[in-house]
Structure 1
């Protein structure tokens, strides 16, 4: 995971959610876990994993084992994290990478250009160095042969 993504996650998701995502190791599995079990409080994380543990179906063996190593024997609150938070991190990365126009980013993520500009401003307010969007070259006029 890039340092940029980690930094963006901490701003948009918070420390607890970011830590669990890092332990699970995969964004999609983490989001599925949060969608399925998010909002539950004081969930016991077992030290010894049973084959029928309900989290296994969502996380798989390896991610569940990592979670157990980190939090085994403890009770944790499972945060709510929506797909829009994950998408916001991806959009922020696209803005900061500055390889496509704000319009192209908006089209790619099904958002408005205004929403992309607002997120860019939010990033500036958080202290990120947001580059100006790439300059579009004017189109050549099509000539018609009459």
Structure 2
């Protein structure tokens, strides 16, 4: 506990040697602790700032992705609508073509029926004339034999 003179550059003080030996390293340790706490606080604030920026970036990315999904959905709906319109127009044109073909077939069938009716009427008239001619004459109807030449 002897007093010792300590030169502090701008002044000199006298203090016990034990106190100087305890306060010197204690002061260095206290300065290191304060420096460590300041560094830790600065690091903590920097981490909070980075986390905040990261969360903002995530939110922005989610919004961008969601808007892309909405845009993709609207584009797909537009294309589906276009395909439905094309399908409807093709269906109507095919139905018109089918109706045209149906009326053509009906017309052709009507023409064929009229032609057959005329041919049957003509054959009937000829048969009637033949029967009238044959009524006055005596004739015999024979079956005609068909000979076929088959090579064996």
Higher share of residues assigned helix: 2
Do they superpose with TM above 0.5?
no
Larger RCO: 1 or 2 (CA < 8 Å, sep 6+): 1
Normalized against structure 1, the TM-score is what? 0.17
Normalised by the size of structure 2, how large is the TM-score?
0.17
